[in-house]
Structure 1
Amino acid sequence: MIKRNLLVMGLAVMLSACGFQLRGTGTSELAIKELDVSARNAYGETVTQLRQVLQRSGVDVHTGAPYRLVLTDEKETQRAATYSGGNRSAEYELTTVLDYSILGLNNVPLLSDKLEVRKIYVHDGDNITGSDQEGIQTREELRRDLVQGMVVRLQMLTPAQLDQLQQEADERAKAEAEAAAAAQRYRDETPQQSPLEIPGT
């Protein structure tokens, strides 16, 4: 518990040093005012909480928005961090990795990245019920950290940056289309070699 509190305090200090404040303490709203948010698990806890946080932050979350945030994958892993054979207690480290992409017009990918959060909780073999509750609480804290981390990432983006990414993506798509068309014209204009005729015996 002490380590967890120290970690949270350290994170808060780092975020405040970067000019970020937690919701409800005077933080500015996101520059992005419209966003479509979806996930592989459309009704999952993570995407549901993220939509709620964004809406409370002044973002109009709706289908058909100019940009779309897609939570493409969310994986949780658990490993034993320490063992204590005497009272059968052990520390477990939970890690959640969230892969996401932001799509622009015509679902053109603009950027892809991932978030990773981790926490440690103690599993006491002599207190199974308490340990299970501790595990559930730790997972809920991980999800809140994941959602807050995603909001921080979005706060670093502006509509101008997304527009620039969209323009670059459109230019790449145009160049690829022109290259494909040129290759097709070359194939169409190049005489096909006649198959080799073998004289009859």
Structure 2
Amino acid sequence: MNLHRLLATLLLAGLLSACGFHLREEARLPAGMQLIAIEGADASSPLGRDLRKALARSGAQLVEGSDEPHAVLRIGSNTIRTDVLSVGGNARANEFTIRYHVEFDVLGAAGDSLVARQTIELSRDFTFDATQALGIAAEQDLLTEELQHAMVQAILRKLEALAR
């Protein structure tokens, strides 16, 4: 009986380890983007702050006002808006969507375009329940913060993929 349990456990462990699952690694930026500056995103804004941290984790060195040749990540548009998805019978909004829209491009050290203008739009939906009105603002803040973190990862993944 113990032998059967041991064999079943070993078989289960072998099957789970063979599924190919592995954690996502940090984005790997190409050599032309290892020295990079960010334009258009305030350093104190959530996007600017998180983008700087993520680029540093990816091995890029952030430069500001340096005479050394470097790439430039330009953020053109950075907007968050809330739209109504549905209205109930009482003429009040029941569902909302938060949309986060960012446009960016990357210029190389020589001023050439490394990554053409790209647009990323992420969205999250949430419902409004009048009986839970106090929690709606907290939920909206949480969803906005989640979108900001997801946007940084989407930008890095796009840079990694497009620069290949």
Q: 1:79 aligns with which of 83, 96, 99?
A: 83
Structure 2 alignment gaps of length 5 or more: 1-21
Q: In structure 1, what is the equivalent of residue 34 of structure 2?
A: 33
**In 2, Cα distance between the equivalents of 1:90 and 1:47?**
33
Residue of structure 2 in register with 1:48 after alignment: 49
Bigger share in strand: 2
Q: Which of residues 148, 151, 157 in structure 2 aligns to 1:146?
A: 151
Offset of residue 30 of structure 1: 2.5
RMSD over equivalenced CA pairs, Å: 2.5
Kept after mapping to 2: 8 A contact 1:38/1:47: no
Partner residue of 1:133 out of 133, 138, 141: 138
Q: TM-score, normalised by structure 1?
A: 0.59
Unaligned runs of 5+ in 1: 1-20, 162-201
Helix, strand or coil: the match of 1:54?
Answer: helix
How many Å apart are 1:28 and its aligned residue?
Answer: 5.8
SS state of the match for residue 41, structure 1?
Answer: coil
Structure index of larger Rg = 1
Cα distance change, pair 83–125 in 1 and its aligned pair in 2 (3 A) = same
1:126 aligned counterpart, secondary structure: helix
Q: TM-score, normalised by structure 2?
A: 0.70
Partner residue in 1 for 2:7: none
Q: In the alignment, is residue 121 of structure 1 matched against residue 105 of structure 2?
A: no
Q: Relative to 1, partners in 2 of residues 1:68 and 1:77: Cα closer, same or farther, differing over 3 Å?
A: same
Identity %: 19
Say if 1:78 and 1:94, in contact at 8 Å, map to a contact too: yes
User: Residues 30-86 of structure 1: CA distance to partner in whole angstroms, max 9, x if unpaired?
Assistant: 334221122253421101101101111211121245210011221222211123347
Q: Higher relative contact order by CA 8 Å / sep ≥ 6: 1 or 2?
A: 2
How many residues are paired up? 136
